[in-house]
């Protein structure tokens, strides 16, 4: 079954590794925090690899089209919410990003599952790149600050780069881009959204 194909298994693995990443990130042990960075990088690698496998060997499936983008948003949303809980970022732009990403991803995944066209926007790739850049930026600096040797040598520089005002500005920028691309998604795919709504409404009729 295509559901049990290797790309889908890697997608499921990313979801299962998310709580492991969070456990390590919230740990008070510096070594475990370092491992949170390793786990996050590994999850990013599986994301690239399962996409490559699907394209290279024709493993693309409706399940994959549904779960792959959903798994990506689970990972990124978990990281951003964790940063807010750790007081590394303000909460409101995080929730703006998370709510937008989950809603649009569910809508897009459902459309693809129903084999309906759902066009992406050029700015969406910029949004994804910006999100991951900020996520890695904060994670690497946070782990570095938690590592005694690095903290002793570069503590002042790390504190400057993790300055709350600077991080606030970065989060507001990516939140603005993220929300705007969500609006673009809805506008561009409005006819598809209407078709999906009508199909759901019809299935609920007795």
CATH of the domain at 66: 1.20.120
Confidence of residue 196 (pLDDT cuts 50, 70, 90): confident
> Dihedral angle at the C-alpha atoms of 190, 194, 197, 198, nearest 10 degrees?
-170
Dump pLDDT digits (tens) for 64-121. 566 777 788 899 999 999 999 999 999 999 999 999 988 888 888 777 777 777 777 7
Give the Cα separation of 4 and 16 in Å (integer). 15
104 vs 39, higher pLDDT: 39
Query: Hey, what are 112's tokens?
Result: 């693809």
Helix or strand holding residue 92 (H, E) = helix 91-113
Please state, in angstroms and rounded to a whole number, the distance separating the CA atoms of residues 175 and 9.
Answer: 31
Range of 119's domain?
2-204
Q: Is 6 left (phi over 0), alpha (psi -120 to 50) or beta?
A: alpha
**Number of domains comprising the chain:** 1
How confident is residue 129, by pLDDT bands cut at 50, 70 and 90?
A: confident
In sequence order, what are the residues at sequence separation of 6 or more whose Cβ sits closer than 8 angstroms to the Cβ of residue 177?
A: 123, 126, 127, 130
Residues with Cβ < 8 Å from 149, sequence gap 6 or more?
none
pTM of the predicted structure, to 2 decimals:
0.85
């Amino acid at each position: 079954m295509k559901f049990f194909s290797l790309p889908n298994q890697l997608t499921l693995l990313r979801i299962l590794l998310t709580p492991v990443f969070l456990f390590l990130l919230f740990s008070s042990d510096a070594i475990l925090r370092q491992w949170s960075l390793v786990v996050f990088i590994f999850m990013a690698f599986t994301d690239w690899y399962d996409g490559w496998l699907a394209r290279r060997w024709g493993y693309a499936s409706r399940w994959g089209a549904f779960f792959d983008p959903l798994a990506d948003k689970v990972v990124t949303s978990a990281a951003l919410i964790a940063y807010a809980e750790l007081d590394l970022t303000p909460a409101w732009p995080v929730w703006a990003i998370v709510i937008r990403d989950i809603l649009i991803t569910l809508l897009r995944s459902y459309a693809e599952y129903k084999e309906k066209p759902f066009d992406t926007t050029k700015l969406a790739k910029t949004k994804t790149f910006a999100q991951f850049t900020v996520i890695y930026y904060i994670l690497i600096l946070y782990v570095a600050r938690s590592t005694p040797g690095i903290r002793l040598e570069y503590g002042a520089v790390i504190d400057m780069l993790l300055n709350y005002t600077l991080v606030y500005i970065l989060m507001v920028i990516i939140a603005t881009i993220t929300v705007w691309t969500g609006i673009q998604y809805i506008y561009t795919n409005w006819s598809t959204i209407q078709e999906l709504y009508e199909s759901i409404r019809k299935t609920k009729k007795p």
